[in-house]
Amino acid sequence: MNKKQILESLKKVRETSKKRNFSQSIDIVINLKDLDLKKPDHKINNFATVPHGRGKKIKVCALVGGELNNDAKEHCDYTILKENFSSYEKRKLKKVMRDHEFFIAQANIMPDVAKAFGRFLGTAGKMPNPKAGMIVPPKGSTKMIVEKLQKTVRIATKNELAVKCSVGMETMDDDKLVDNAEAVYKEVIHHLPLHDQNVRSVFIKATMGKPVEVGGKEK
């Protein structure tokens, strides 16, 4: 897969996608083969950096103690203080989860975070993850990680032989979307046992549009 092929597929996606009254996400779908997801080393659960960002504001929620409270309120979209964890019953927390893509947490209160929110955030794949720097020291700052998360996408196989994620919005320039898609693809194959030999096919699609195979025919 190369940039020219991605660009050709992206152009077909634009040509075949109907106009919507909202800006659609442009997604990459990487179908995999010759893997057994029961084996831990065959699963992917990581993050990729897209060099040109996501084309929209990515909302971040902070779970912190008093040490990071003021900093988190300044740099994050929403902050839940440790002393208020117990007030977030299921319905209230689910609303916060819908509104925020990433959750970061203060390192020394992670046991409290896990106890209060683990079963909900874990199931949704939103538990603060050290792989993406989402665990912040109590004397640190949330600013840099929030900025980094604006260019971060989660790549995971979940329960199927495929990785699906957004590489940006349709309002972005083609060259930026192509760079982002290539970055995600390279990160995915980096985590595969046989690298690109474990890739069955790659598609580009808009949220509501038909997928177009990279290097293949429109589906």
* Structural domains present in the chain: 3-55+152-213 (3.30.190.20), 60-149 (3.40.50.790)
pLDDT at position 1 is: 83
pTM of the prediction? 0.90
pLDDT at position 112 is: 97
Q: What is the pLDDT along the chain (219 residues), one digit of tens a residue?
A: 899 999 999 999 999 988 888 889 999 999 999 999 999 989 999 999 999 999 999 999 999 999 999 999 999 999 999 999 999 999 999 999 999 999 999 999 999 999 999 999 999 999 999 999 999 999 999 999 999 999 999 999 988 999 999 999 999 999 999 999 999 999 999 999 999 999 999 999 999 889 999 987 544
DSSP string, the chain: --HHHHHHHHHHHHHHSPP-SSPPEEEEEEEE-S--TTSGGG--EEEEE-TT--SSPPPEEEEE-GGGHHHHHHHSSEEEEGGGGGG--HHHHHHHHHH-SEEEEEGGGHHHHHHHHHHHHHHTT-S--GGGT-EE-TTS-SHHHHHHHTTEEEEE-TTSSEEEEEEEETTS-HHHHHHHHHHHHHHHHHTSTTGGGGEEEEEEEETTS--EETTS-B-
